[in-house]
Every structure is written in C-alpha cells, then in structure tokens.
Chains A and B, each alone.
Chain A
Amino acid sequence: MSAAIAIGPADPRYPPRLLDLAHPPDPLWVRGEIAVPLERAVSIVGTRRATGYGLRVARELAAAAAAAGIVVVSGLAQGIDSAAHEGALERGRTVAVLGQGIAAYLARTNARRRRLAAEIVRAGALIAEYPPDAPAKDWTFARRNATIAALAEVVIVVEAPSDSGALITAAEARRLRRPLYAVPGPIGVAACAGSNALIASGEARALTGAEMLLASLGLASDGAVRRTDGDTGRILDALAASPLDPDALAKRLGLAAPALAQTLARLVISGEVRPCPDGRFARR
C-alpha cells in the first residue's frame, strides 16, 4: 500500500464539502487511488451490532449507489459500515473515514477488515483527520462521525440503537442540512430503536429502497426492481426480512421439503441466497 499523504484545506484536492464544518480537518490524511474531492457521495452508516436484514439492505443500497457512480462513504467498523463498503466494492468506489491514524488502524484491526481496507485503498481511499500513528480515543470517533456526514450529499442511517454513534452522524447531517434518511426497522428490535426514532421525530425520512436513494441524488434508478415469479420469488421474499432455516422456510411457503430443496439449491448456486455458517439461509 502506498503511504498516506496530507492535504490541507487550500489544496485543490481537498473535499470542498468538509469546509462546511466549523473546524475542517487540517490536514486530511489520505491513502488511496481516488481523486479525493468526492463530487458525488452518499454516506451509509449504522450499528456494529446489525441484524441480517440491516446488513443486506446496507449492501444493496451501497451497491446501487456505487453502480450509479456515487462514492459510498462509511466508517469501516464491523456491522453496517463493513456491509456498505463491501456492497460498494461490488459495483464501484468507496471511501472509509477512520477515527484514528491510518497506520494505527491497520495495525490493530483484524485480518478481515485489513483485507477490506486494502480493497478500499484500491477502489477508493482511507481517510483520517489524525496523523498515521495517532491512537483511537472516544472523542476521535465522535469527530469522525461528523466528518462522515460532512463528506456526503445525502446521509443514510440503516440501523442504529438509541445510543449509537451513527446518531452523531445523523445530528451533524441535520446541522449541515444534508438530506437525512433512515431505513425503517421492526418494532422491538434494539438495533433499530434509534433509527426508527429518527423517522418518528421527523428528523429523517423513511427510506423505502434504492430507487428513493438514487432519486434523492437526482438520478433515475437503472431499472425496476426485478420481479421473480413462482417459488423462486416466494423464497426470496420469505428471506427478505431475516435468514431462515429450511424447516421454517418450507413451513412459511407451504412447500414440501424436496420441492424446496432444488429451488433453494439453485438460488444458492446462483449466489442470490447465501448459506450462513450456522446452517440458515439468507438473501445475499
């Protein structure tokens, strides 16, 4: 990986939207291939302790935005952030904003996110407002969350419990007058309490799908939601909310196990359904 470079607010490569902040990061440390100004960007954030549904939605929204040429910004934490980066990497570019120095992050994160960080450097950039070896502190994450809001045109909270750091990003988005969306989640699930509260209070609009996200960025979606008929469509619908074990799936669809097995196997092979390590099945 190339070394990080430091750019100041006067630098033409400095992302102009950061100047909206009361105290723009100076300098900004960047490591990656991307042209940093980030003309078109959306931030997708949420809890580390996400549900299977939240992870899928984050991935799908990010992929749709990236496919439309929008850079997806997030914080490279486990959970929703990682899902957003992964989704974006499938179709386009993404930027991760770290709450500590870039080298410090890479030195202490786990192998999986180190791999993810390497891919982000190739298809985007790692950004930090702290020198490479600066360690993480509580307040560095709070500032980072505000920076994520400032970098984007539109901010999306996928899932956030009521004490989530993602709510700092949401508050900053309001202050900076960035359009703020939250993905509605089920009542009674802790991971969705904070994001649902944003919708209830009117601070955020309820996001109902990738088309709405693209519309908020002034783009048309690349096509209608693909409709699949028959058992295939019914299986995908049944798995939309959360991963299921085959018995529950068969029961919900009123299908006999053998009839289900072949269709489900085909969906697994085509990659539309993903087997979980615990033996359940989830929508990709």
Chain B
Amino acid sequence: MRDRAPIATDVIGESRSPTPEVKVRAVARVWACALWGLETALVTVEVDVANGLPAFVVVGLPDAAVQEARERVRAAIRNSGYEFPLRRVTVNLAPAERRKEGTGFDLAIALGILRASGQLAVDVEALCLGELALDGALRPVRGTMPRVRHALARGIAAALLASANAGEAAACGADAYGFGSLREAVDHVAGSARVAPTVAPAPAPPERPAVDLADIAGQETPKRALEIAAAGAHSLLLVGPPGTGKTMLARALPSLLPPLDHDEALAASAVHSVAGLVDPRHPLLRSRPFRAPHHTASPLALVGGGSPPRPGEVSLAHCGVLFLDELAEFSPSVLDTLREPLEERSITISRAGGAATYPARFLLVAAMNPCPCGHLGDPAVECRCLPDAVERYRGRLSGPLLDRIDLRVNVPRVPYERLRDEGRESSATVRGRVLAARERMAARLVGTARRTNAELTVADIRRWCRVDDDGETLLGAAIRERRLSARGYHRLLRVARTVADLAGSDQIRADDVAVALLMRA
C-alpha cells in the first residue's frame, strides 16, 4: 500500500476523446479506514460517475450499514445544496476482500461523488471519517483513534472528521480538521472557507486515586497481597465479611501501579475510542482504567460483542484494573467468559463478517463474602449458614476461574480500636517498592513483549526463578505433600519471583516461597 501514490484523482479528460458523444468520465479516490476490532486497514473509496440509467451502487463487500450509506449520502448531498448526479454512480471500497462495517465511510463516499461529478474541483488529500445525517450534518464515529493512527503510519497526515472526533485525531498527532456538516468540509477542501487545524487537547490532569493505602486501617496481609499483585500483575481475590474494607482495598490498587507509559496510553485510549467512550476534552487516557462492572452485567457487556461489535469491560480495562466486586453474585456463565481473556490477554469475537479481536491485558481483582450470610469467621456476627450452603456458594465460582487467580487472602474484621491505629504506609511509599520491582522484571524481560512476572512463560520460569536451598526444600515438600499441579507450581514460582523482586533479591528464598504458598494455599 505504501508504494502506491497516497492520494489520487484521475480525470480522463474529454479533450482526448475521439468522439464528442463521450462525456467526461472521472474516477475519484478518497481515503477512508476500515476497522475490525482494533485491526485497521486503509480503504480507497473509488467513485465512478458514468453515463447510463441513474443508479447508485456500492461494491467491495459493504455490510448493511455501508449499503445504507447510499440513502444518507444521496440525501445529504442534495440537502447541502449540491446535485446528486443523475447518472450511474459506482462506489468501490478497495481492497474488496474483507467486509466493511459501520457508518464511517459516508464522508469519504460523499466527497468522492462530489469530486467525480466535478462539483469539487480539487483532490481530497486526507483521511475522511464520519457519518452523514440526511440534512448534511456530519456526525462522529467510533474508532477514530486507531483509524487515524493507521493513516498516519501510512503517511497520511491530514484527517477530515466530525468536530467531536477532531480532538481524538489531533491527540494522535494528525492535522485534524473538524466540521459540523458536509458543506463545511467541501468549502474547506475547495479552499473557499478553510478551517484551522484542531489543536491537540491538553492531557487530563492526573487523577487523584480514589483510595490511598493510608486510608485503610489494619489489614496488613491484604495490603501485602495488594502490593504483590500490583508489582507482578498477579490476579487477586479478597474474601471477608461485609464492611471490612474489601472494596476499599480494591479501589486502592490503581494508586500502587506504575503510571501509564505512552504506548499503553495509546493502546488503552484506542479501545475507549472504539467503544465511543472518549472524553473529547481529554482524548488520551492518563490514568490506568479501573473498570468495575456490576454483577448483573451480561456476557456481552463483560467481554464484548454485538453488531457492530463493541469492546467489553475486559478490554476497557486493558492496561488497567478489572474489579469484580461480589464475585459470587456473578452468574457462572458470565464468569466462564472470562477464561479466554485471562488466558490469552485478548478476546476474539467471531462473527459473520470475520473475527474482531480486542486486547484485554488487565489486572483482575475480585472480592466476595466467605458465605451466603457473609459472616463466616466474623467475630462480630454469628454465621447462620449450613456447611452445604457455604459449599454451594463457593461452588458457584468455577474451578477454571479460581485456577487463574494467583493470590487469595482473607480480609478479617478490624477491631474497632484499631480503626484509629497510626503509622500506616501510604500508597506512594508502597508504589516506590512496586516500581523498583517492576524495573527488575523489565530488565529481565528486555527484548520480549512481556513486562511482568504474571506473564512469565515456562521457559522464563526455568531461567529466572532460581530458588535457594532452603526454598527448594520447602518447594519440594509442597509438591510432594500438596500434590501441586504443574499449573499450580508455575503460579507459585511466578508469585514467589515477585515477592523476591519486592525484596530486591535475585534468588528466590524460602521466605518468598512461604509467602507465595500462604497467599494461594
């Protein structure tokens, strides 16, 4: 694609025609961009206006929404004061091999028709994105960010879009021009009324984390687990009676994580763009996403899907935290859909028009009560649950999901007098240790796509998880007596690696193994 001329409009001139009956034949070309999941492809919208019975045909595997573009474009052109050619209009979306979805091609098709019919005298040398209303108004579309970035990478610096999308495009570094209507866009391209490029919006001020670790009294072990989870990106389950601070602890997790780097910010923002959830004033995310879907969320809302497909919560949490509060209240079938994203760190939605893949690399933190009444092990309130009811309650969490949770800790009730204890560590202090541990991990994984211990492959584990003699003894006993599965063994070593990294140790020591064992015994 790169070696082709990026923008071109061929006009086969009348002058060369041997016979006067042959009228002007023009093929106009305008750039648009197709989107499947987060996958993008540059599309050349070719428009041919030829003699013949009036017709308007769109070819090149358009889906139903693109077919409907004919009605929107025809009305928008007329209602903007232009003429819709009463000839044979053929629009080709090239390359034709994959189905194109959505309403984002409207603007490119309209500009192509105006160019091919001679109503626009100059070529359109920009990526064109936007949906047209029947009255000619230009409407924003989802997925501006990945499409603009794709065009930029192919050397197309300018983008013509709806005003509401212009900030997103400018934030990606494009020369973005925002319009309220087709007419404004045409006037700009023709030069009769040029608009200024949109200034890239200032990044949002960094968000103040919802909860600081210092706000939470007691809970030393859960806080330690939170630190380990943040450092190694290990998934975490908090179990305890109501009102003991589980939700608070989970909400403190973002305050322990390293800041989003530039690539992560672009990747996370792109998902939000595709979901249509970009704040136009601050299109680029600055803070890690923290998504907390309610337990009544549908599988579609959680992992994505639909037509056209949208990313779900697991992808909106990409590069951030997915918090499942009251985990046992989620329906088992909904929780089952989490297996793929937890395993693959992405989710693929297969559909008639081809699969859509969204990234889903999130840190999972979940909270639940220990039993249906919530008070098992609670010194304040006697539990009234029968053992069978407790077992059924826990049985709602499938083995495969629990198998993918690295850390599990009890969050006990803190005695009233300790709610006022002093000398608690702040998030900033703990985050310092997390950052240092992350640096150790990054140095080890340099040259790979992996960043954290949670992502260590079996080969990585063999190479990087060396255990000292005491630790080996402990580990050997654990394998023998507790019949650790291979998966359980590797998970244990990943967590122990993180505990050692937090302590600044290259070797995994018996203490590190012990902590890992106790937090996922």
Contacts and interface: CB of A to CB of B under 8 A. Distances in A.
Contact of B394 (A247, A269, A277, A279): A277
Contact of B481 (A112, A246, A264, A271): A271
Interface of B: 218-221, 224, 239-240, 370-371, 376-377, 382, 384-388, 391, 394, 408-412, 474, 477-478, 481-482, 510-511, 513-515, 517-518, 521
Nearest to A270: B481
Contacts of A250: 220
A78 B224 contact: no
Contacts of A112: 391
B402 to A, nearest CB: 9
Contacts of B511: 258, 261-262
Contact of A268 (B385, B412, B521): B521
A278 interface: yes
A280 B377 contact: yes
Given A49-B385, A248-B412, 7 more contacts: A245-B221, A246-B518, A258-B511, A266-B474, A271-B481, A280-B410, A281-B521
A200 interface: no
Nearest to B382: A190
A265 B517 contact: yes
A245 B412 contact: yes
A275 B521 contact: yes
A110 interface: yes
A189 interface: yes
A48 interface: yes
Nearest to B239: A278
Pick the 10 closest A-B CB pairs, nearest first.
A279-B410, A275-B521, A265-B514, A278-B370, A261-B514, A245-B410, A262-B514, A278-B239, A245-B412, A78-B387
Contacts of B388: 78, 110
A190 B385 CA distance: 13
A189 B518 contact: no
Contacts of B387: 48-50, 78-79, 82
A269 B474 contact: yes
Given A262-B514, A269-B477, A269-B478, A78 B386 contact: yes
Contacts of B481: 269-271
Nearest to B473: A266
Nearest to B481: A269
21 contacts: A49-B385, A78-B387, A245-B221, A246-B221, A247-B221, A248-B412, A250-B220, A257-B221, A258-B511, A258-B515, A264-B518, A265-B513, A265-B518, A268-B518, A269-B477, A269-B481, A275-B518, A278-B239, A278-B371, A280-B377, A280-B412
Contacts of A15: none
Nearest to A79: B387
A259 to B, nearest CB: 9
Nearest to A242: B377
Contact of A265 (B239, B382, B384, B474): B474
B408 A279 contact: yes
Given A265-B517, A275-B521, A48 B408 contact: no
Contacts of A278: 239-240, 370-371, 376-377, 410
Contacts of B411: 279
A264 B411 CA distance: 18
A194 interface: no
Nearest to B223: A247
Given A265-B474, A269-B517, A79 B386 contact: yes
Contacts of B377: 243, 245, 276, 278, 280
B239 A279 contact: yes
A174 to B, nearest CB: 28
Interface in A62-85: 78-79, 82
Contacts of B474: 262, 265-266, 269
A39 B384 CA distance: 38
A261 B376 contact: no
Contacts of B517: 265, 268-269
Interface string A182-226: 000000011000000000000000000000000000000000000
Contacts of B482: 268-269
A247 to B, nearest CB: 5
Contacts of A269: 474, 477-478, 481-482, 517
A49 B383 CA distance: 9
Contacts of B384: 49
Contact of B386 (A48, A245, A264, A270): A48
A112 B394 CA distance: 14
Contacts of A258: 511, 515
A189 B409 contact: no
A247 B219 contact: yes
B386 A49 contact: yes
**Most chain B beta carbons < 10 A, residue from A243, A248, A270, A271:** A248
Interface in A235-253: 243, 245-248, 250
Contact of B477 (A82, A190, A248, A266): A266
Contacts of A48: 386-387
Contacts of A247: 218-221, 412
Contacts of B370: 277-278
B98 to A, nearest CB: 48
Contacts of A261: 511, 514-515, 518
A279 to B, nearest CB: 3
B24 to A, nearest CB: 78
Nearest to A80: B387
A279 B386 contact: no
A176 B220 CA distance: 54
Given A257-B221, A258-B511, A269-B481, A189 B382 contact: yes
Contacts of A110: 388, 391
A40 to B, nearest CB: 29
